[in-house]
Structure 1
């Protein structure tokens, strides 16, 4: 009777761990998808940033009195453009790491045999036997 009880307890613990691992896997997948979407957004922003730089350079040539302000804006946009590849590379590494973590969790998951109801029945049966034994001992001790 002990082995089924221990097995049932282990199965219950394994199921709880499996549920938590699946939740973590889903979280990593969602985070990887969010990072993936952000990467695409940033990759698609390159032409817009380049277009902004070109427009600002033309305005500087036409409007000499605003040259200082426009030059500051160009510098800021060029800095964003310059940082874009490293930001994208960092996000790609993060996406790869998150996907790897999700895959690693997925590979280490194993199904728990049987059902929770069967394990609960075994635990209930063992508990009934334990209660009967205690009652019998108490009855015996009460007669003394």
Structure 2
């Protein structure tokens, strides 16, 4: 009787661990999807940044009195454009790491045999036997 009880307790603990692992897996998947969307947004922003740089260069030629302000804006946009590949590379690394973590959790999660109801019935049965034994001992001691 002792082995089924320990097995049922282990199964219940394994199920709790599995549920937590699946929750963590979902979190990692969700984070990886968010990073993936950010990567696509940034990759799609490249042409817009280039167009903005060109527009600002034309304005600088036409509006000499505003040249200093426009030059600062060009510098900022060029810096964004220059940093874009490294930012995208970092986000791709982060996405890969998050996906790897989710995959590790998915691979480490294993199904627990049987059902929680069966395990609970085994535990209830063992508890019932224990209570009967205690009652029998109490009865015997009460008669002495």
Q: Which interval holds the TM-score relative to the shorter structure?
A: over 0.9
Unaligned stretches of 5+ in structure 2?
A: none
Are positions 1:61 and 2:61 aligned together? yes
Which residue of 1 is the match for residue 44 of structure 2?
A: 44
Q: Secondary structure at the match of 1:16?
A: helix
Shift of 1:143: 1.4
Deviations 1:77-116 (A, max 9, x none): 1111111111100000000000000111111111000000
Which residue of 2 is the match for residue 141 of structure 1?
A: 141
The list of structure 1 runs, each at least 4 consecutive aligned residues, that deviate by more than 6 angstroms after superposition, is none
Which residue of 1 is the match for residue 127 of structure 2?
A: 127
Which residue of 2 is the match for residue 78 of structure 1?
A: 78
Taking the aligned partners of 1:127 and 1:27, their CA distance within structure 2 comes to 38
Shift of 1:138: 1.0
Deviations 1:115-138 (A, max 9, x none): 000000000000000111111111
Shift of 1:139: 1.1
Which residue of 1 is the match for residue 5 of structure 2?
A: 5
Are positions 1:101 and 2:101 aligned together? yes
Aligned length: 144
Taking the aligned partners of 2:62 and 2:134, their CA distance within structure 1 comes to 97
